[in-house]
Copies of this chain bind each other. A is one copy, B any other.
């Protein structure tokens, strides 16, 4: 590939836009297909950049990837805000992780020990310390710790910044779904869903359509991958903190009776409260039960959240994979994938975009990309 490469990116979320920006800096001609750029899971997300508090046991590769991605964010955030000329709400404020009852605390302690074994700084907080650094936190929770390395970004401002940079640089935005992918020997043709216009030709295309990526993989004739991407529904609320109480000063996350809940305060008194993890397909109802649970759990941990003002209930579909690793790599000759980031799209995808861009342009790609190849889900492996 050369820098004059014509590239199509299917999907205008965090994954697609971050990658488009990399292509742009190589001087490529970039087109982004999306009916609504900056919507989807990236828009609904809370924007936590939390390699530590998102880390699971027995997933060291993913934990490493998230840590690298988090370090990448440090300079990336400044670069994006600078290029766009707008703030993106990158806040290295740290995260308070809590366990509401003794069972939740037992889990928190096991998770903390795992993190400490990985070299992460986890500072247990006494009740007195909790009162001092986060007075809104209910004293009636079993325990809490502070993880200084977990940060946040305002995902909506981030998406807006990326879109602004791309628009100004002449990126083509095509407000349509892709209905057909025709892979030819030297190029790839994409047909718009509307069908009104002729297919457009590109030197290569990248599928970055989040939970909808599987339907695109299935359009590729010669592909034998079977990723079985799972849409994992997340219902989430956005509130404005009451002026008298204010918002928490840190991201607060943990479990109430084994049910995860988080509150992510923005600089402007907005607090994002979430989120469910539901394997219910593309179900677009906002279930009252999910909202009831989120509210009850959030209220248990930050009682003053009751005084806040609800302004949005929403949901998104995270692109889950069966091994929790993203799909980043080549699918076939001219088709690549940058998707499957599950809960970690905002955190991880700028970093994986950098790696994928280097792989595509044969520019010293990192060795770890072999772990994220979409071809690990080949049909013959499953059959």
Binary CB contact string for chain A from 285 to 302 against chain B (1 if under 8 A, 0 otherwise): 111110110011011000
Q: With an 8 A cutoff between CB atoms, is A308 at the interface?
A: yes
Decide yes or no: A288 and B313 within 8 Å by CB, A295-B295, A296-B296 being known contacts. no
Whether A299 pairs with B289 at a CB distance below 8 angstroms is yes
Whether B299 pairs with A311 at a CB distance below 8 angstroms is no
Chain B residue nearest to A305 in the complex (CB): B288
Taking CB atoms, residues of chain B closer than 8 Å to A80 are none
Q: With an 8 A cutoff between CB atoms, is A307 at the interface?
A: yes
The one of B288, B307, B311 that contacts A289, using a Cβ cutoff of 8 Å? B307
The one of B287, B292, B307 that contacts A287, using a Cβ cutoff of 8 Å? B307
Least Cβ distance of A280 to chain B in Å? Answer: 11
Binary CB contact string for chain A from 239 to 282 against chain B (1 if under 8 A, 0 otherwise): 11000000000000000000000000000000000000000000
Taking CB atoms, residues of chain B closer than 8 Å to A289 are 299, 306-307
A-B contact list, 11 entries, CB within 8 Å: A237-B288, A285-B309, A287-B307, A287-B309, A288-B295, A291-B295, A291-B310, A292-B292, A292-B296, A296-B296, A310-B313
Whether B295 pairs with A310 at a CB distance below 8 angstroms is no
Which of A299, A307, A308, A310 is the most central at the interface, judged by chain B CB atoms within 10 Å of its CB? A310
> Residues of A within 8 Å of B, CB-based: how many?
22
Count of identical protomers in the assembly: 2
Taking CB atoms, residues of chain B closer than 8 Å to A311 are 286
Question: How far apart sit A291 and B299, CA to CA, in the bound complex (Å)?
Answer: 11
Binary CB contact string for chain A from 141 to 182 against chain B (1 if under 8 A, 0 otherwise): 000000000000000000000000000000000000000000
Whether B306 pairs with A287 at a CB distance below 8 angstroms is yes
The 5 A-B pairs at the shortest CB distance, nearest first, are namely A289-B306, A285-B309, A292-B295, A286-B310, A288-B308
Least Cβ distance of A264 to chain B in Å? Answer: 15
Question: How far apart sit A295 and B299, CA to CA, in the bound complex (Å)?
Answer: 13
Taking CB atoms, residues of chain B closer than 8 Å to A296 are 292, 296
Question: How far apart sit A237 and B295, CA to CA, in the bound complex (Å)?
Answer: 15
Question: How far apart sit A289 and B245, CA to CA, in the bound complex (Å)?
Answer: 14
Taking CB atoms, residues of chain B closer than 8 Å to A288 are 237, 239, 295, 298-299, 305-310
Question: How far apart sit A307 and B311, CA to CA, in the bound complex (Å)?
Answer: 22
Whether A308 pairs with B295 at a CB distance below 8 angstroms is no
With A240-B285, A286-B309, A292-B296 given, can you name 17 additional A-B contacts, CB distance below 8 Å?
A237-B288, A239-B288, A286-B311, A287-B306, A287-B310, A288-B298, A288-B299, A288-B305, A288-B309, A289-B306, A289-B307, A291-B295, A292-B292, A292-B295, A292-B306, A295-B295, A313-B313
